[in-house]
Structure 1
Amino acid sequence: MEEFLKLDIKKKFYYFMVMAALLLIMVIPVIMATTEKNVESKDIVLDDRWTVTVNDKVYKDVTLSKFRFDMCDRGDILTFEHVIPRYDTMDDPTINLYSIHAAVKVSVDNEVIYQYGQDRYQQKKLLGYGRHFIPLGKNRMGKKLIIEMHISENNAFDGQQPVIISDGMKLISKDIAGKRFNLAISMFLMVFGVIIMILSMLMLKSSVNFIQTFCIAMFSFLVGCWTLCNMDLIEYFAPNLLVKTYMEYMTFYVLPLPFTYYFRDRLEKKGFPKLLKIYFKVLIIAEIAFAVFAYTMQFFNIMHLPSFLSGVHILMMLAMLFIVFINIWARKNSQDSINCVMVGFAIAVILTVIEIARFNINKYFFGFSQNEYNSTTCFAVLIIVISMLVDYGKKISQTLYRIAQQQLFKQMAYMDELTGLANRRKCEEYMKELETHTEKYCILCFDLNLLKKINDTYGHEKGDELIKRFADVLREVYSLYGITARTGGDEFVTILNNVSVQETEKLISDMLILIETKNKEEDILKLSTAYGYAMSDEVADSNPHIIYKLADDRMYEYKKKSKMGRND
């Protein structure tokens, strides 16, 4: 983990992209594992010839898939009666029953075979919705099936799905196969969200810009969870209806927040309208307050989560309006061009608006097909996530370009142009840093001999070549141990960290051997240097400038003894 945090932002971004690609590969086995459509299942669909009682009103010879009644409210009681047909070819006959916010009791003649939610109904608690898988047993053909529902929420539903008798798990296998793409997309959004949320939290230490990555990941995860519940797929992993209901509503009510906050950076653009800034801040506060209020009401059992569904629809619409406004402003002020992200959001917004309208129209006016509602919003969200990634990828590439430019300018400011070594400015800053260090260090001073003679005899081009040859020697010998800088025309300084006198002498010996080797390969540009060094513990006050002065004095003493001089 520590090694990852030490990576520069560019390498972290590469890790981000590689993990996203691996995630895409992970989804493929999910699709392949759920592609079997032809699961043998001789289902018995009990759709017609029902007797339905809504409170005290009786309806006979009812076809459930077409039957509608007034929207149910808390306290309403519904009873469904049907004669159980033959199912003797099934090894494990199971009733598949769908309920929405209701306590359920299933009886065969006068024998109760299944109950759900009676205690919670009495306590006025949330009951949830979803499917009940009820073992029917072998000897109940021709008997009367009675399903009794006590409704626990207002505006709960206005119809009932057909009841299905199936052969155990075959119904589940068939249902999963029919929803394989929804399952694959849900799992992709969830796994993608978890991985990228973790990665972006680690990256936040490098750049606050990765808060946008976190918003993308959080939005993706929330929608993945919500879709898994809305498509009734969570029941195969967690059959408890309360788990599904809490998970669906709680994730859905937080959705607008990361979706809206992702666009916060737009507010920092020059000339951004003050009114839109206020709109954004009020919207964020409203989204947080809405989620907290809904959760609080549910926690204290004052109001249940389904009561707030219209509120989150309004917040989503307001968030989409905000996105439309900022894109219009950007286009009007020529701060953005039409690109993939704008097109993606336009498509996703249209699909989401249609989806919200379809839900409310069906719920309050026409009813749902087969009395079941499965949202296709996950496809719109997939478009949004892709659009966010494209948009963010563009920003990251621009950020990386600016960072590369800054690094280049910094490198140019601290690098000797001729040799590629550090320059005097870098050396002085490094020495200033040594003032606060407690580790032992050594400073070496070098003077390149015969440079003036080469310049006068062969020209400055050859003199520069001699300097570069000497710089290569210093780089090869000392680069792993510290910093080497060119501080003047023929003057060089090397600072070695955590070395002893013996180690320093060994490195100097290696340098002289390397110089001798290179001189055998060259007839004109012979390398020769005077040097001196001083250790940080040689004086009581280990001031780097005092150590440098001592090393420089020793270098000049060496020049005198070698009787080579500069020939300046």
Structure 2
Amino acid sequence: MKSLTPGRWQRIIIYALFIVLTGIACFVLYAGRNQSSVSLLPGEPVAVNEGWYSYTPEGTIVEQSLPTHIESESDGKYRLYRYYPSVNYDRYISIYTHHQKLRVLVDGTLLYSYEPKIEPDWLMTYRAFYHIVVIPKDTSGELCLETVPLIKSSAGEYSQILAGDSSRILNHILKDRWYKLIVGLLLFFVGIVYVGIGIPFSIYSKSISSSQILGSLVFITGLWQLEESRALQLIIGSQPLHWCLEYVLPLFIPFLVFSFLKSIVGEKYKIPMLILFIIDIVGITIQVVLQLAAFVPFTDSVTITYILYVITFLFSAVLINRELGFISKKVNAVFLISMILGLILFILHSFGIVRSSAADASLMFGLTLIFFSLSVAVYQRTIARFEELKMTEMYRKLAMIDIATGAGSRSAWYNFVDTYPEDNLRTEEACLILFDMNNLKQINDTFGHQVGDKVLVSFYDCLRRAFNSDGKIYRIGGDEFICLCTKSSRQKIDRMLLVFDSYV
């Protein structure tokens, strides 16, 4: 039984949490299988940010300009109003709910309702969604957007509302996050390619390669960014699936980064790696426990994930720069600059210090450069490692061959004996023949070692031709050879010995 070393414990814990997170995602998908999909119709709209109003609990009208936060009415619900005149064509409006239930009414007539029954109960909320709602032609009156928060932080929150035809609204949503869409697609497909590149190396080395781990990390990051771009939401309406992609998927990233670092450093930096491992495990476990206990959902504990990212990537920047061994100084410089600027922008953006499209796009560009430089370095490292393994395999094969004659070497004979199955000794018949040349020392002393080597080659050639494929020949000493015959009858072996005598 193998001993449970710290490295094995870490792998066991990582695998266990992988299973837990995957199980949570699968359970949410199963529990919400009957949940209706978010209503979305097929993408330049007009921003309708003015002309809105709300009522205070006392009934006072308050003019509103979007985006805004409003007070609840006396019944505890939040309502935003606007007068819509009648037109002779259908109109569409885009409403973004941030963990809120939504009802759209005109003069009390319900046009659209999004009131998910969250299953399981501890999920509390699925996520933020875009809703494209049609206002039928010839409809006029007081438009009411009624929301009920699913989490406290979203109470009374209203984002920009867009109006126009459905295709223009769709285009606007995609244009607003185009950089996430491009980066997501790029990383998604690059990750698949990198995992594929690592497969031959993994088969050859019989272990998961750095390129496969990096490919998995790039793939998951790309899928996450596709979800962040809202592109997936516009083609897939499954609310549980979007919750998994938005909140569960990012929790795999610290594990993959740790595994990637482990594949690079091996058993070095045991204490720092153990500290990083504990930080990742504790941070993710806290979030999972809070979510499963229905105390704090992932949507509100996402700050813990951001802190894990900062710690993990700071650690990674130092360790990768020390250990990965960038062959090109330019690639190394790109990695360091991208990592530093990316971390600064990530910290500023994640904690609300800077929130702008330019900063967000710069962060995505930096993320792409980081993965690009890592991919180049890992590719170079993989090729170098592959060459090392090929050389090792070549040396191993050479060690199994007697250079002077071409017969199996002494090492090959001992390796065969050590690995020969014990059961075969009872079930298979075999014949072992020992050959000892005479006067080899005298030949070497009289005519020189060159002639002696030629005599050895001639002797081995006689053995090889006589026994052909029926016997495996090893040179186990200076003038000693062994021939192992399996699956050959006694009569056949006697005939082969006679042939050998005639050749000699």
Q: TM-score, normalised by structure 2?
A: 0.70
Matches within 5 A, 1:88-167: 88=88, 93-117=91-115, 125-140=124-139, 142-156=140-154, 160-167=158-165
Q: Distance in 1 between matches of 2:446 and 2:314?
A: 77
Q: Distance in 1 between matches of 2:406 and 2:285?
A: 59
Q: Which residue of 2 aligns with 1:357?
A: 348
What is the CA distance between 1:233 and its match in structure 2?
1.7
Q: Distance in 2 between matches of 1:454 and 1:283?
A: 68
Q: Distance in 2 between matches of 1:496 and 1:80?
A: 92
Q: Match for 1:313 among 306, 313, 318?
A: 306
Q: Distance in 2 between matches of 1:503 and 1:108?
A: 100
The letter of the residue matching 2:159 is Q
What is the CA distance between 1:116 and its match in structure 2?
1.4
Q: Match for 1:254 among 227, 252, 255?
A: 252
Q: Deviations over 1:249-308 (max 9, x none)?
A: 2222332232234223666677x5xxxx54432332222222222122222322111221
Unaligned runs of 5+ in 1: 1-39, 509-530, 533-553
What is the CA distance between 1:403 and its match in structure 2?
3.2
What is the CA distance between 1:219 and its match in structure 2?
2.2
1:420 match: secondary structure: coil
Q: Match for 2:389 among 392, 400, 403?
A: 403
Q: Which residue of 2 aligns with 1:439?
A: 428
Q: Distance in 2 between matches of 1:135 and 1:480?
A: 81
What is the CA distance between 1:112 and its match in structure 2?
0.9
2:301 match: secondary structure: helix
Q: Which residue of 1 aligns with 2:35?
A: none
Unaligned runs of 5+ in 2: 1-41
Q: Which residue of 2 aligns with 1:50?
A: 52
Q: Which residue of 2 aligns with 1:427?
A: 413
What is the CA distance between 1:229 and its match in structure 2?
1.8
Per the alignment, do residues 163 and 338 of structure 1 end up closer, same or farther by CA in structure 2, a change over 3 Å counting? Answer: same
Asked if residue 79 in structure 1 is aligned to residue 68 in structure 2, the reply is no
Asked if residue 484 in structure 1 is aligned to residue 483 in structure 2, the reply is no
Q: Deviations over 1:117-153 (max 9, x none)?
A: 36559x892142110122333332x433211122232
Larger gyration radius, structure 1 or structure 2: 1
Q: Distance in 1 between matches of 2:395 and 2:44?
A: 73
1:307 match: secondary structure: coil
The letter of the residue matching 2:309 is M
Q: Deviations over 1:46-102 (max 9, x none)?
A: 233222457667442x542xx444899xx9754222233566456xx4332111111
Q: Distance in 2 between matches of 1:184 and 1:54?
A: 43
Per the alignment, do residues 54 and 254 of structure 1 end up closer, same or farther by CA in structure 2, a change over 3 Å counting? Answer: farther
Q: Match for 2:295 among 302, 305, 321?
A: 302
Matches within 5 A, 1:147-296: 147-156=145-154, 160-168=158-166, 171-172=169-170, 175-176=173-174, 182-183=180-181, 185-190=183-188, 193=191, 210=208, 212-264=210-262, 277-296=270-289
Per the alignment, do residues 476 and 150 of structure 1 end up closer, same or farther by CA in structure 2, a change over 3 Å counting? Answer: farther
1:147 match: secondary structure: strand
Contact map agreement 1:52 1:79 (CA 8 A) in 2: yes
Per the alignment, do residues 97 and 68 of structure 1 end up closer, same or farther by CA in structure 2, a change over 3 Å counting? Answer: closer
Contact map agreement 1:261 1:284 (CA 8 A) in 2: no
Coordinate RMSD, CA, aligned: 4.9
Q: Distance in 1 between matches of 2:284 and 2:460?
A: 65
Q: Distance in 1 between matches of 2:267 and 2:333?
A: 17
Per the alignment, do residues 359 and 304 of structure 1 end up closer, same or farther by CA in structure 2, a change over 3 Å counting? Answer: same
Q: Distance in 2 between matches of 1:469 and 1:94?
A: 92
Contact map agreement 1:69 1:158 (CA 8 A) in 2: yes
Asked if residue 392 in structure 1 is aligned to residue 378 in structure 2, the reply is yes
Q: Which residue of 2 aligns with 1:382?
A: 368
The letter of the residue matching 1:84 is Y
Contact map agreement 1:227 1:378 (CA 8 A) in 2: no
What is the CA distance between 1:388 and its match in structure 2?
3.4
Q: Distance in 1 between matches of 2:288 and 2:95?
A: 29
2:95 match: secondary structure: strand
1:306 match: secondary structure: coil
Q: TM-score, normalised by structure 1?
A: 0.63
Q: Deviations over 1:382-430 (max 9, x none)?
A: 3333333334334434433443443344344332222333224423543
Contact map agreement 1:48 1:63 (CA 8 A) in 2: yes
Q: Which residue of 2 aligns with 1:527?
A: none
Greater Cα shift, 202-211 or 237-246: 202-211
Contact map agreement 1:100 1:157 (CA 8 A) in 2: no
State how many pairs are aligned.
455
Q: Deviations over 1:512-538 (max 9, x none)?
A: xxxxxxxxxxxxxxxxxxx52xxxxxx
Q: Distance in 2 between matches of 1:154 and 1:235?
A: 24
